[in-house]
A and B are shown apart, each in its own frame.
Chain A
Amino acid sequence: DIQLTQSPSSLSASVGDRVTITCRASQDITRYLNWYQQKPGKAPKLLIHDASHLETGVPSRFSGSGSGTEFTFIISALQPEDTATYYCQQYHDVVLTFGGGTRVELK
């Protein structure tokens, strides 16, 4: 199975800060990489698909980039409602896998 390693596992930032999360794949997954946001007690929500395509209705402060084995997720200016855990997910292989998650908290 393809392993996805997210870093950091958690971070603390202030409102308005730029937040960067990295997702590294154990093998080349081209651009088959998606990002989700999950708030406590809730189902995840799709934010970005295919590495950089923003899902309809998702604020433009969220963005994604990358290809191959290294991917980046950015919140350009953190808002209080962005406190959540973020997961990457690959679909290069039929066995779908997720990264371990990054918890984003407000400082």
Chain B
Amino acid sequence: QEQLVQSGGGVVQPGGSLRLSCAASGFIFNIYGMHWVRQAPGKGLEWVALISYDDNYKYYGDSVKGRFTISRDNSRNTVYLQMNSVRPEDTAVYFCAKDSDTGSYPRYFTSWGQGTLVTVSS
């Protein structure tokens, strides 16, 4: 059974940094693209970033480009989201999600993590 278990998150001050992790199991991690998607409190879904299976392609949403970095460690079956220069508007539940394909081009999300809350506040 496919499973994505997230860790990290919490409260961070504006301008600070935080790293989220997502550990995968139950599928062959190194052949799938992986995403991060977020949801501000009471709001809809916003796609954040995608990394391809081989780390050759990375795509970002406009609101996080230049501040967030997605990465993966296929030896650990884990995907990361490094969040730098965070802003209050980055406050959200962050989900990791598995792409339906290699991630060379984004498609859709077939499995999701449980979500982790990031609160940006002084």
Residues on B with beta carbons closer than 8 Å to the beta carbon of A95: 47, 59, 61-62
- The bracket for how many chain A residues form the interface is 20 to 34
Q: Across the interface, do B113 and A98 meet the contact criterion of CB distance under 8 Å?
A: no
Q: Across the interface, do A96 and B115 meet the contact criterion of CB distance under 8 Å?
A: no
Asked whether any CB of chain A lies closer than 8 Å to the CB of B1, the reply is no
Min CB distance A35 to B, Å, is 9
Q: Across the interface, do B106 and A91 meet the contact criterion of CB distance under 8 Å?
A: yes
**Residue in A36, A45, A87, A96 whose CB lies within 8 Å of B106:** A96
Q: How far is the CA of A101 from the CA of B46 in the complex (A)?
A: 11
Q: How far is the CA of A44 from the CA of B47 in the complex (A)?
A: 13
Q: Across the interface, do B95 and A43 meet the contact criterion of CB distance under 8 Å?
A: yes
Interface membership of chain B positions 82-115, coded 1 if the CB is closer than 8 angstroms to chain A and 0 otherwise: 0000000000000101001000011111101111
Q: How far is the CA of A92 from the CA of B80 in the complex (A)?
A: 25
Q: How far is the CA of A45 from the CA of B59 in the complex (A)?
A: 22
Q: Across the interface, do A34 and B108 meet the contact criterion of CB distance under 8 Å?
A: yes
Q: Across the interface, do B107 and A91 meet the contact criterion of CB distance under 8 Å?
A: yes
Interface residues of A (CB under 8 A from B): 1, 34, 36, 38, 43-46, 49, 55, 87, 89, 91, 94-101
Of the A-B pairs whose beta carbons lie under 8 Å apart in the complex, a sample of 5, sorted by A's number, is A36-B109, A44-B95, A96-B50, A96-B61, A96-B106
